[in-house]
């Protein structure tokens, strides 16, 4: 867990599947806000420590980090699978939530799961693959879906460091509605993992007051951290109530 705090509305960053919180490091360089880079459970341990965990277990681990953090009010920034965690975390911390930014994030309908957002053929295929082979995709799949616009060094690091998640974070359903706070969806227009059509579905499920496009693949925090930071700063400055200290 990495943090930086003072008496302002802060930002809580939730990363996607297989990644660690340091994925956001370039985005928060020079960031003029308190921030918390939330870590998923057992990132340094073996898969055996994670494989039986539920979605609720992940969120409990994340909520503990937020509870121990200094900022009372915060904006959640969630990427990819992190959208699933963010919806439940936002519900449990509704009195502290000031805003919600979904960066190419999974936002199912109320009562849905991560799998539920996928087109029917892909949903069935992924369900079978996870039952038989777990949640560790092949190098070619990682490179094609996550790394299409990254440098060779960045892609190699993602492949090398990919951390398989518990199956239940993909299959457990969530019953939390999207909170009534200022919301932004950052649509990644060159994303090969969540194509624009799928992101449009997420936007409809959200739905946000504002959609901003970013011409990147699935990991804009690596391929265009300055652009993503600029979008977050603009959202903070313009969303009603966010630019006032808590």
Question: The domain containing residue 219 runs over which residues?
Answer: 2-238
Query: In this structure, what DSSP letter does residue 207 have?
Result: -
What confidence score (pLDDT) does residue 3 get? 52
For residue 102, the Cα-to-chain-centroid distance in whole angstroms is 7
Answer yes or no: are the C-beta atoms of 175 and 110 closer than 8 Å: yes
Kindly state whether residue 246 falls inside one of the protein's structural domains: no
Apex 245 CA angle, 179 and 73, nearest 5 = 35
In this prediction the pTM is 0.93
CATH of residue 121's domain is 3.40.50.1820
Kindly state whether residue 243 falls inside one of the protein's structural domains: no
What's the mean per-residue pLDDT of the chain?
A: 91
Write the pLDDT tens digit of every residue in 35-66.
999 999 998 888 888 989 999 999 999 999 99
Kindly state whether residue 49 falls inside one of the protein's structural domains: yes
Write the pLDDT tens digit of every residue in 213-246.
999 999 999 999 999 999 999 999 998 667 654 4
């Amino acid at each position: 867990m990495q943090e930086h705090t003072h008496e302002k509305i802060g930002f809580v960053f939730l990363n996607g599947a297989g990644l660690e919180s340091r994925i956001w490091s370039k985005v928060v360089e020079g960031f003029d806000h308190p921030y918390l880079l939330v870590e998923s459970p057992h990132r340094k341990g073996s898969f055996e420590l994670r494989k039986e965990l539920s979605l609720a277990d992940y969120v409990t681990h994340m909520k503990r980090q937020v509870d121990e953090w200094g900022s009372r009010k915060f904006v959640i920034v969630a990427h990819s699978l992190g959208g699933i965690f963010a919806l439940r975390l936002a519900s449990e911390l509704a009195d502290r939530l000031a805003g919600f930014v979904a960066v190419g994030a999974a936002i199912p309908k109320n009562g849905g799961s991560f799998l539920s957002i996928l087109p029917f053929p892909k949903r069935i295929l992924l369900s079978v693959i996870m039952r038989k082979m777990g949640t560790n995709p092949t190098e070619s799949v990682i490179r094609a879906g996550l790394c299409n616009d990254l440098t060779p060094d960045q892609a190699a690091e993602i492949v090398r460091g990919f951390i398989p998640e518990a199956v239940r974070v993909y299959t457990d359903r969530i019953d939390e509605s999207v909170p009534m706070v200022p919301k932004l969806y950052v649509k990644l227009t060159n994303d090969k993992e969540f194509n624009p059509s799928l992101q449009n579905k997420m936007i409809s499920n959200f739905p946000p007051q504002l959609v901003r496009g970013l011409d990147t693949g699935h990991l804009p925090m690596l391929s265009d951290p300055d652009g993503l930071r600029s979008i977050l700063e603009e959202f903070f400055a313009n969303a009603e109530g966010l630019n006032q200290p808590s």
